[in-house]
Structures are given as C-alpha cells and as structure tokens.
Chain A
Amino acid sequence: MLPNLKEIGDKITQNDVWKSIFRHRYEDTSRNRMLQVLSNVWLHIHPTTVTKGNINISFTWCLGGLTFFVFLFETLTGVLLMFYYTPDVNRAYADMLDLSNNAIPLGRLLRNTHRWAGHAMVITVCFHMLRVFLTGSYKAPRQFNWVVGVILLVLTLLLSFTGYLLPWDQLGYWAITVGTNMAGATPFAGYQGPFAELFGFTIDNDIRFGLLGGTSIQAPALLRAYVWHCIGLPAMAGGLMMLHFWRIRKDGFSGQL
C-alpha cells in the first residue's frame, strides 16, 4: 500500500538535515510569520511588524527599496559584463561592439539593461530624497541618516559618471573630458582654478591629474574609471547602505499615520 502524502511530507521534513536548514515550519501562524522575517538573512533587515500606514505605496512610493534593488540589479549585470569587458583602450570599444552585436549571448540586452538601470537609479535616488524631504522624515532623530543619504546620492552620481567612460566611445570620452576639466578648475587644488599657484599646483600634479592618472584622458584614466566603477565606489556605497538601513531600524520609521 502506498503511504499517503502527509507521511511522505513528514519523512522529508522530520529529520535532522531538514531541520538544520529550515528553522521553522510554514503553517500560517503569527509566530511563523515573525520567524519568516527573523530567521532569514535577507529579510531580517525588516522589523517583524510594521505600522499599517507605513507600507502604503502612496507614502514611500517604494523609492528607497527600489533604489537598493536597482543597486543589486546593477551589481549582477555589472559582474556579468566584467566577464566580457577589458579596460584597455585597444580592446574596450571592440568589446562593446561584441556586446551590442550579440556576439556574446544576450550581450545587447545585458549592456542595455545595465545602462538604463544605471540612469533609473539616479532618478529613483533623487525622487527618494524628494519623498523623504516632503514627509519630513529627516527630522529628529533621523538627521544623521539624511546626511548618509546625501553621500549615497553623490556616490550614485559618481558610479554612473565613472561608468560613462568605459565604452571608450566619443560620447563617453568627451563627457568625461567636460566633467574632469571642472575638477581642474577647483580653487586652490586645480591647475586652472583660482589660487592654484599658492600651493604649486600645475597640470601634472593637481586634483584632475589624480583623477585621470595623466594630463589627458588616456589608458590610465580608463583603468582608474574602471576600478572606481567596479570596486571603489560600489564598496563605499555598499558600506554606507548598511549604515543607512541599520540607522532606519535603530531610529525607527517616521510615518505614524
């Protein structure tokens, strides 16, 4: 005689191996709903219960969470792109063509999604800031978290900016030229800025030189943009995001609708 389904289920779940992986059963009980959040590494960023008004879409518009999701999305597509892209002035553009022409499977979609999601992240982070301002959520005790948010906004812009050079095409090359020339005009620290001579800054030792690794945009600039884009800035942004989310939990949500 065949054993019934419940017995099979029990055989699978009532043993040490299963229990070592899944800490609680799935019956829809109040306790399990809480454990579902508490005992899950990805979900335990949340509190187990929230104020009803706090999760109205028309309060947060999901903008902060969405920004974080886009960051993860960019990390995934970015890592996949890193398998195919070489930050070398002789190869970078050819790699872009290979991606765009689908010489690499799904290359065109991969590059397009990474590019457009990068733009989307700039937009979501700006509107997240607008939302937080309009709901006054930066007020005590959350002042410092607003400051962290402003730094994250700047890092988002820089992440997008460093990615702009990587295709090594005319668009990126001249956009980065415009952007980094501004750094050359920094008062005191840029060779074209006011009071540059005070500290002896010239074209080959100023802040712009530090960004480009040279006096013009050449191979070192591409490598620097690549390393900042793939390692330096994501690491900084990731660290500050941890702080940002942790502070939300410690300071509490603002909405008390």
Chain B
Amino acid sequence: MANPEATMLRPEPKQTQTGPEKIHTWPHLVAKEFLCALLFTVVILLYSYYVDAPLRELANPGEPENPAKAPWYFLGLQEELVYFDPWFAGVVLPFLIIIGLMFIPYIDFNPKGNGYYTFRERKFAVTTFSFGFLLWYVLIIIGVYCRGPFWAWFWPWEKWTLAFPTPPPLWSLPAPVGVLLLLAYFGVGTWLPARRWKDFYQKLGPVKYGITMFLLLAMIGTILKMGLRLGFNVKYVLQTPWFNI
C-alpha cells in the first residue's frame, strides 16, 4: 500500500496555462528507456546464441576472395564501382553524401514540419531524402545478395559459377560530346527549375539554390549514368587523360 501521505504529496508537474502537458521523466521516460535497453539485450543475446559471427580461414594475402566484398554498409559504394572509377565511387561520392547530409539543415528553408511527421507540408524534402535513403539500401541489397564471382549478377537462389556470359563491349562518348552533355545537364538542370518554380528559387537565394540543385543533380546523375551503362553499354560519359566519369 502506498503511503497515503505520499500520495497526497504526489501532484503531477505544475502545468502551465498554455503549452503541452508535462510529465515526470522519472519514472515515465526512464522506464521506457530501460525496457528498450532490456529488450535489445535479450534479442541480441538470443540471436548470438543461435547465429555465429562469421569467421573464415586464416587471412592469406596470396589468395584473394572472389568476390571480395566490403562490409555490407559499404556495398552500395562498391556496387557503384561497376558504373564509376574508384576515385568517384569510393571517395567523391561518399564525400558528397556526407557533405550533402550536413548541408540539409542549412538549405531547407521550410519552417513547417519541425517536430512532427508530415509529408504534405514538406513534399520535396521528404521525397528527396527518402529516395536517397532507399537507393542506398537497394544498392546494399544488390551488393549483398546479387553479386557473385567477378561481381557478376547472380540471383540469390542461383548457384555461383564462372560460366556466365561475357559482358558486351563498352564504349565511351567522345570528349567534346561528354563536356557538352555534362554542362547541359547541370546547366539546364539548374536553370529550368529556377524558372518553373520562381518562388522556390527566390526563397533560397542563388547560393543555397545552387548547392541544393548541385546535390540533387549529382544524385540523379549517378542514377542516369547507371542507366546509360546498363541500357547502352556506356563506359564513360566524359573521358579525359586525367580522369573519367
């Protein structure tokens, strides 16, 4: 039995006249956190009891794994190696993703949707971010489950063999065409939405608008390049003596 005196002394926190309802952190929030931690511990212990962490043979520098796969969370980037050179897929692309993520709070001028779930009030932001998030995981799933020896495509239920068909020969666009194409893509891609959605452009201003569109076009461009490669066997859009894209 609770001490009646204590019960009398137990008012909920003083509520202000306006503003949302307040409750005590102890026990309401702390109890939930504790349960969460407990549940996680139980799940991870059970899982670890039944499923062993992978351990292969002793490392042997003379005998490469085929395929040699990076840890699963980097397989999206390794998958991009099919479509881009390592300097882009492994360095510039992750760099753009990290910098792009950091820029988000500073280029999102929309004051709505601060502190609650909403799609209607921030359609562009939610669509773009969710798409990028999804793309990252789709590429990971492809890398984990659909790539076999020499990074050839195998469905998860297919047996890995070395007798897969030779991939078709690839070709690259001539350098002047590549330069024009890239300039046109980023130029028109930046100019057209500014004309079409004047309000969007004016609210952002030229600098923030430029950054937003560059990041968006880089993401879409990455997918377009994948399409060019898969659909038209294009190796490089732009070929130079120093680097290729």
Contacts and interface: CB of A to CB of B under 8 A. Distances in A.
Contact of B36 (A66, A129, A139): A66
Interface residues of B, number: 84
B87 A190 contact: yes
B59 A172 contact: yes
B221 to A, nearest CB: 18
Contacts of A210: none
Interface in B55-77: 55-61, 63-65, 68-74, 77
A15 interface: no
A133 B21 CA distance: 25
A18 to B, nearest CB: 19
B56 A143 contact: no
A217 B65 CA distance: 15
A20 interface: no
B26 interface: yes
B26 A55 contact: no
Contacts of B53: 111-112, 114-116
Contacts of B61: 173, 216-218
Contacts of A31: 9
Contacts of B12: 30
A52 B23 CA distance: 6
A156 B35 CA distance: 24
B98 interface: yes
A174 B122 CA distance: 43
B47 interface: yes
B23 A50 contact: yes
Interface string A37-66: 100000100111111110101000010011
Most buried by B among A97, A179, A183: A179
Contacts of B33: 62, 65, 69
B37 A135 contact: no
Interface string B158-178: 000000000000000000000
A255 interface: yes
A117 to B, nearest CB: 5
Contacts of B102: 146-147, 150
A34 B70 CA distance: 48
Interface of A: 27-31, 33-34, 36-37, 43, 46-53, 55, 57, 62, 65-66, 69-70, 73, 89, 93, 96-97, 100, 108-109, 111-117, 119-120, 122, 126, 129-130, 133-140, 142-144, 146-147, 150, 153-154, 157, 160-161, 164, 167-175, 177-179, 181-187, 190, 192-195, 216-218, 253-257
20 contacts: A28-B2, A46-B29, A51-B21, A53-B20, A112-B47, A126-B133, A140-B105, A140-B111, A146-B105, A169-B55, A169-B58, A170-B56, A171-B54, A172-B59, A178-B68, A183-B90, A185-B90, A187-B92, A194-B242, A194-B243
Interface of B: 2-3, 6-7, 9-13, 20-30, 32-33, 36-37, 40-41, 44-45, 47-49, 51-61, 63-65, 68-74, 77-78, 85-87, 89-92, 98, 101-102, 104-106, 108, 111-118, 122, 125-126, 129-130, 133, 242-243
